[in-house]
Amino acid sequence: MSKDAVTVEKAIDLLKDSGVRITPQRHAILEYLVVSDAHPTADEIYKDLEHKFPNMSVATVYNNLRVFKKTGLVKELTYGDSSSRFDFSTKQHYHIICSRCGKIVDFFYPGLDEVEALAAQVTGFVVDHHRLEVYGICPDCQKKETEQNQ
């Protein structure tokens, strides 16, 4: 069994423990999120799965994403471009975002967790989470730019 299959099964168990019924569409959407590292929008998920489930609507995708979000399996990422992206990850991580094409890539840096403790100490706040976004130009866009300039 692959790492992704184990992850999907663990996520399904968590949903079942939360009283969520596992439909074929729900399973497919969850599996799509686990396998995808592209941080898809609901519309992208719908378009990629509509051939498999011709009767499934975009609303079904949104409703399932809401359920996943409520159970803590999925995070909704909003970056001001009016389309939410969805991220399945069980580990605290950060994102680097291409300023040109919008591609989002995960990166891990455990040292940033200390920022919460420091912020709480300095301000007296009870910190419940933080978010870090790094922006730049991805390798694909750099390559396109180089090719255009030659």
* pTM score of the predicted model: 0.77
Please, what's the b/e burial string for 119-132 (b: 16 or more CB within 10 A of its CB; e: otherwise)?
Answer: eeeeeeeeeeeeee
| Residue 6 predicted with pLDDT over 90 | no
| Per-residue confidence (pLDDT) for residue 136, from 0 to 100 | 94
Reading the block at residue 70, the tokens are 């409520």
Strand partners, 95: 106, 133
**Over the chain, what is the mean pLDDT?**
88
**Binding site, annotated residues for Fe cation:** 130
- Judged by DSSP in three states, 101 sits in coil
**Binding site, annotated residues for Zn(2+):** 98, 101, 138, 141
pLDDT tens digits for range 38-90: 899 999 999 999 999 999 999 999 999 999 999 989 988 887 666 788 998 76
Reading the block at residue 61, the tokens are 């995708």
Give all domains of the chain, ordered by start, each with its CATH number: 1-90 (1.10.10.10), 91-150 (3.30.1490.190)
**Binding site, annotated residues:** 98, 101, 130, 138, 141
